[in-house]
Amino acid sequence: MGITRLRGFQDLIGTDADIVSRVEHSARTIAELHNFSEIRIPLLERIELYQRSSGETSDVVEKQMYAFSDRDEAETLVALRPEGTPGVVRAYIEGGLDRSDPEQRFYYSGPMFRRERPQKGRLRQFHQFGVEVFGRHDAVCDAELLIMIDELRRQLGLTLEFQINSLGDSLCRPAFRAALLRWGRENLNRLCGDCHERLEKNPLRLLDCKIDVKLTASAPTPRDYLCDACRRHFQVVEEALTASAIPYVVNPRLVRGLDYYTRTAFEVVSAAVGSQSAVVAGGRYDGLVEALGGAPVPGSGFAIGVERLALALHAAQSKTETPPAVVILAIGNTVVPQANSLASELRNENIRTDLLSPERGLKTLMRRADKSKAHYALIIGDNEVARGVVQVRDLRQSTQQEVPFEKVAQHMKENLANARSFPIDDPSTQDIVPTRQGGRLKKI
Ligand code: HAM
Q: Which candidate, 312, 313, 282, places its Cα nearest to that of 299?
A: 282
Which residue's alpha carbon is at the smallest distance from atom 13 of ligand 1? 305
Binning the chain into helix, strand and coil, the percentages to the nearest 5 are 45, 20, 35
* Rounded mean pLDDT for each run of 10 residues along the chain, 444 residues in total: 94 89 95 97 97 89 94 93 98 98 98 96 97 97 97 94 96 93 89 83 84 84 95 97 96 90 97 90 97 98 96 78 86 91 92 87 89 92 94 92 94 82 33 30 37
Q: Which pTM does this prediction carry?
A: 0.77
Residues with Cβ within 8 Å of 107's Cβ and at least 6 positions away in sequence, in order, are 27, 28, 31, 32, 36, 37, 38, 39, 129, 130, 131, 132
**336 vs 330: CA distance, rounded Å:** 6
For ligand 1, what atom is nearest to the CA of residue 54? Answer: 27
If one residue of 41, 54, 126 were mutated to test the ligand 1 pocket, choosing by the most ligand atoms within 8 A of its CB, it would be: 126
What ranges do the domains of the chain cover? 15-172+226-317, 326-437
Ligand 1 centroid – CA 88 distance (Å) = 15
* pLDDT for 357: 82
Give the distance (Å) from ligand 1 centre to CA of residue 132. Answer: 13
Pocket test for ligand 1, best of 50, 258, 270, 313 (most atoms within 8 A of CB): 258
Give CA–CA dist 106/297, Å, rounded: 15
| 398 Cα to the center of ligand 1, angstroms | 51
* Shortest-distance atom of ligand 1 to CA 121: 21
Q: What are phi and psi of 400, to 5 degrees?
A: -145, 140
Q: How far is CA 243 from the centre of its chain?
A: 25
How many whole angstroms from 258 Cα to the centroid of ligand 1? Answer: 10
Distance 128 CA to ligand 1 centre (A): 7
Please state the atom number of ligand 1 nearest to the C-alpha of residue 86: 27
Q: Is 55 left (phi over 0), alpha (psi -120 to 50) or beta?
A: left
- CA 318 to centroid of ligand 1, rounded, Å: 25
CA of 244 to the centre of ligand 1 (A): 25
- Measure the CA–CA gap between 268 and 246, rounded to whole angstroms: 12
Give the span between the Cα atoms of 131 and 145, in whole angstroms: 8
CA gap 302, 276 in Å, rounded? 17
| CB 82 within 8 Å of CB 112 | yes
Contact 99, 134 (CB under 8 A): no
Q: What's the CA gap between 443 and 360, in Å, rounded?
A: 12
Closest CA to 392 of 224, 61, 404: 404
Ligand 1 test: best mutation among 53, 83, 279, most atoms within 8 Å of CB? 83
The CA 182 to ligand 1 mean position distance, Å, reads 30
Could you give the 3-state DSSP secondary structure of residue 331?
strand
pLDDT at 141: 97
Burial of 308 (0-12, 13-18, 19+ CB in 10 A): buried
DSSP-assigned letters across all residues of 343-409:
HHHHHHTT--EEEPPPBS-HHHHHHHHHHTT-SEEEEE-HHHHHHTEEEEEETTTTEEEEEEGGGHH
Classify 272 as helix, strand or coil: coil
For residue 425, the model assigns a pLDDT of 34
Nearest CA residue ID for atom 16, ligand 1: 122
State in Å: Cα 59 to ligand 1 middle: 13
Amino acid at the residue 231? R
Q: Which class is 326-437 in CATH? A: alpha beta
Q: Ligand 1 pocket: which of 89, 112, 131, 313 to mutate (most atoms <8 Å of CB)?
A: 112
> Element (H or E) spanning 440, and its range?
none
For ligand 1, the distance from its centroid to the CA atom of residue 58, given in whole angstroms, is 13
> Quick one: CATH architecture of 15-172+226-317?
2-Layer Sandwich (3.30)
Tell me the C-alpha to C-alpha distance, in Å, between residue 32 and each of 27, 35, 197.
9, 5, 43
What is the spatial distance between Cα 38 and Cα 106, in angstroms, rounded to a whole number? 5
What is the CB < 6 Å shell around ligand 1?
83-85, 114, 116, 121-123, 126, 128, 130, 132, 257-258, 278-283, 301-303, 305, 307-308
Please indicate whether the domains covering 15-172+226-317 and 326-437 agree at the CATH topology level: no
